Amino acid sequence: MQKIMKKIKLPAFIEDVRLRYVSMAMLALAVVGIIVAAMIRPWLALAMTVVLLGLVIASFYTLETITRNTNKYIKHLSYRIKRGEQEALVRMPMGILMFDKDLNIEWLNPFLSQYFDDDEVLGQNLGDVDSELAEIIRSNQNVQEPRRVHWGNHQFNITVQTGIGVVYMMDVTPYAKIEQEAADQKIIIGQIFLDNYDEVTQSLDDQLVSNLNSFVTTELNNWATEFGLFVKRVDDDHFLMIAYTKSLTAVVKNKFKILDTIREGTSKQNAPLTLSVGIAYGDSDLAQLALTSQSNLDLALGRGGDQVVVKSKAGEAKFYGGKTNPMEKRTRVRARMISQALQELFKQTDKIYVVGHERPDMDSVGAALGIRRIAQMNGKECYVVLDPTNLHSDVERLMEKVASDTELANQIITPDAAYLGATEKSMLVMVDHSKPSITTARSLYDKLQNRVVILDHHRRGEEFPDNPMLVYIEPYASSTCELIAEMFEYQPQGSAPLNKLEATAMLAGITVDTKSFALRTGTRTFDAASYLRSMGADAMLISTMLKENVDNYIQKNHLIDGVEMIGDNMALCTGEEQKAYDPVIAAQAADTLLSLAGIDASFVVTRRRDGKVGISARSLGDVNVQVIMEQLGGGGHLSNAATQIENTTVADTKGELLNVINKVMNQNDDEDDEA
């Protein structure tokens, strides 16, 4: 019986357990109905039996037909799908290439073969057929998401599956062109400013001024026409620029040669003018673009002018130009305006805290003492914030002298004491620096960050307080002490003037930053020094404070003893990896190298006591060391700059410095060749 049952093939739907139970239940109900009918009318039971058998046979036949037709449809559909897959591999607009572990081409579809000019490439090594595509595949192996790559004159979204040796390439060149066109049509806004227009034109007659204006306007219009810009003069010294991003790309590629054209052309007319330009891009809001462009112009001016700053609202600033020393202003108008503005701010504060940079030098401390005296002359309580555990040897000698002046000594406090004493109405004056990250009292800055005044002579960098109350940055000045010395002329009369020790500290600051009046000095530098001497500044005391001890002298000479030349005119010294050097020694070594014949720029790389690796850079003006240090995260002046780098070695820093120097020098050579 079991053998007979095995030979009987049940319909496919009966093999489904759920349908089987339902069918059995319905059959049982039908049998029960027939039995009941037989008890009532035998002929009725016979009729029901015949109908039941007919329904069962019809159901079996119908369901079997449905099953057979469904299977037939599925088989046909599977065939169509497989055929479609095969056709897709051959005809779809996506390149498919199969390769082995050695990048030998095993198969590629016809769509991709057209990019090889339909040459026979099967079996050949991809590196021999097209080295560019081979390198693209090697550099994009096992990428999770498609990457946009350039191959020849086309752009592709590429996915490489190394495990199965397949690369998929979708040509998106038309879409990339649309994206590029949209990007090229975005609006950019620029602000162009003639840095020293008022100073130059005040001594010229009307005809010369007219000729100068005509020259500048003509050159700017010619430049605008060449690159597709719109430039409109909105004031004597101010132009507005509107353009598309495509034009900005061309101008950037040209390295803003208009700066050199204006500078050199006006110099020939004995009326040297320089341009500062701030350009904003990448924002659909025109009002925001205008604000960003003005901010970029302020950054360019804060860095000394004669340069261009290109930056989006949240992007990284790019600098062009700025390779000449900033020109000294010929009037004291701004010094008077800053003095008056500072006095107005003093009226709105209860206490003033003056802070310099980390490990303050004589310029930083002297400037702080000068501001303290100005605040006192205006009847305000003022404190100088110093960290006594982190001072240069010359500043320590100054503090020993300050200790003998009880009034002055009581006004010098630690960062912690300043933080505890500061209120909502207090004001913070940052001297000799503008970067919050290098301030002596960072917690105090964070507490008073909306009530900050900045007085500095270094070029402004990207890191800058968000909402300063007043900014006085003059990169042309020799030192911050020089800027502050000029302010005393505009203070209230009858109040106690600078005392001898304060004047000495400020003059020492100027002496240190000018290398005893040998570098970065102008007429106003000597005017400020003359004023401080008239207030009792002691040259002998300055000489005593600035003396270096024997150990420092030996360390400096040890650094210089290992000097090596970079090219024909640059010198490099490196300290021992495990030995910590005072930054002052590194700076003195760099200065000493400049005094040697044939050296126009010097770099000293040493490990600092805080674990960072520092670089002191100096030049005589022909080499812009500020640009080099900025690329390493630092800054300063064209002829005096520095940086500090964390989590690195002296050897690695030296290699990075050499790479940056070569890059900058090559850029300068390219620009000279283009000129």
CA distance 586 to 563: 13
How large a percentage of the chain has pLDDT more than 70?
Answer: 90
Q: List, in sequence order, the alpha helices (H) in 614-649.
A: 625-630
Q: Give CA–CA dist 358/518, Å, rounded.
A: 26
Residue 172 lies in a domain: yes
Q: Is 569 helix (H, G, I), strand (E, B) or coil?
A: coil
pLDDT at 8: 46
Q: Are residues 374 and 397 in the same domain?
A: yes
Give pLDDT, residue 177: 87
Judgement on whether residues 84 and 108 belong to the same structural domain of the protein: no
CA 380, CA 26: separation in Å to the nearest integer?
A: 105
- Rounded Cα distance between 641 and 627, Å, is 9
Kindly report which listed range (57-71, 258-272, 558-572, 588-602) carries the lowest average pLDDT score: 57-71
CB 388 within 8 A of CB 394: no
**Same domain? 588 vs 602:** yes
Mean pLDDT of the chain: 84
Does residue 346 share a domain with residue 301? no
**What DSSP character marks residue 119?**
-
- Shared domain for 29 and 104, answered yes or no, is no
Task: Assess if residue 137 is contained within a domain.
Answer: yes
Contact criterion met (CB below 8 Å) for 321 and 308: yes
475's enclosing H/E stretch is: none
> Could you tell me the pLDDT band of residue 500, with boundaries at 50, 70 and 90?
very high
Q: Which residues contact 477 (CB under 8 A, 6 or more apart)?
A: 457, 483, 524, 525
Name the band, by pLDDT with cuts 50, 70 and 90, for residue 4. Answer: very low
Mean pLDDT to the nearest integer, 476-493: 89
Whether residue 442 is found in the same domain as residue 349: yes
Please check the confidence at residue 142 and state whether its pLDDT lies above 60.
yes
pLDDT confidence band for 554 (50 / 70 / 90): confident
pLDDT at residue 14 tops 80: no
Claim to verify: residue 262 and residue 204 sit in the same structural domain = yes
- Residue 3, pLDDT above cutoff 60: no
Binned at pLDDT 50, 70 and 90, residue 183 comes out as confident
Q: Give how many domains the chain has, as a whole number.
A: 5
Contact between 552 and 396 under an 8 Å Cβ cutoff? The reply is no
pLDDT, position 89: 56
Q: What is the pLDDT of residue 5?
A: 45
User: Span 308-331, mean pLDDT?
Assistant: 70
pLDDT of residue 633: 84
**Is the distance from CB of 192 to CB of 232 less than 8 angstroms?**
no
Question: Is the predicted pLDDT of residue 91 greater than 80, yes or no?
Answer: no
At 332 the pLDDT is: 65
Distances (CA, A) of 471 to 7, 114, 619: 101, 63, 28
Contact 517, 511 (CB under 8 A): yes
Give me the mean pLDDT over the 12-40 stretch.
71
pLDDT in tens, 369-413: 999 999 999 999 999 999 988 888 888 889 999 998 888 899 999
Residues 68 and 146 in one domain: no
- For residue 533, what pLDDT is reported? 92
Is 167 found in the same domain as 83? Answer: no
Question: Is the pLDDT higher at 4 or at 65?
Answer: 65
Confidence check: pLDDT of 551 > 90 = no
Whether residue 419 is contained in a domain is answered as: yes
Final residue belonging to a domain, choices 512, 545, 578:
545
The residue ranking higher by pLDDT, 550 or 378, is: 378
Interval 595-626: pLDDT, tens: 888 898 999 999 988 888 999 999 887 788 88
Assign residue 657 the CATH number of its domain: 3.10.310.30
Task: Kindly state whether residue 184 falls inside one of the protein's structural domains.
Answer: no
Whole-number Å distance between alpha carbons of 597 and 594: 8
In this structure, are 471 and 556 located in the same domain?
Answer: no
Count of beta carbons in the 10 Å neighbourhood of residue 552? 16
Instruction: Mark which of 37, 63, 88 sits at the end of a domain.
Output: 88
Domain containing residue 515: CATH number: 3.90.1640.10
Residue 328 domain flag: no
Residues 374 and 478 in one domain: yes
- Of 297, 321, 345, at which residue does a domain stop? 321
Report the alpha-carbon distance of residue 167 to residue 159 in Å, rounded: 6
What distance in Å separates the CA atoms of residue 59 and residue 617, rounded to the nearest whole number?
Answer: 98
How far apart are the C-alpha atoms of 498 and 373, rounded to whole Å? 7
pLDDT at res. 330:
41
Better-predicted residue by pLDDT, 7 or 594: 594
How many of the other CB atoms lie within 10 Å of CB of 23? 17
Whether pTM exceeds 0.75: no
pLDDT at 673 over 60: no
| 210 found inside a domain | yes
- CA 571, distance to chain mean position in Å, is 29
For residue 13, pLDDT over 60 is answered with no
Enclosing domain of residue 664: 550-674
Condensed to tens digits (0 to 9), the pLDDT of residues 188-221 reads 999 999 988 887 888 788 888 899 999 999 999 9
Taking alpha carbons only, the member of 358, 344, 524 closest to residue 427 is 344
Q: Is residue 617 part of a domain?
A: yes
- pLDDT band at residue 414, thresholds of 50, 70 and 90? very high
Q: What mean pLDDT comes out for the span 42-57?
A: 78
Give the per-residue pLDDT at 326: 55
Q: Which of these, 280, 283, 277, lies nearest to 262 by C-alpha position?
A: 277
Q: Which of 93-107, 108-122, 269-283 has the lowest mean pLDDT?
A: 108-122
In this structure, the answer to whether residues 156 and 202 fall within a common structural domain is: no
pLDDT value for 371: 95
CATH number at residue 121: 3.30.450.20
- Structure confidence by residue, pLDDT tens digits, 618-660: 988 778 888 888 888 887 777 788 898 988 999 999 999 999 9
Please tell me which of 141-155, 375-389, 541-555 the model is most confident about, judged by mean pLDDT. 375-389
Q: Is residue 511 part of a domain?
A: yes
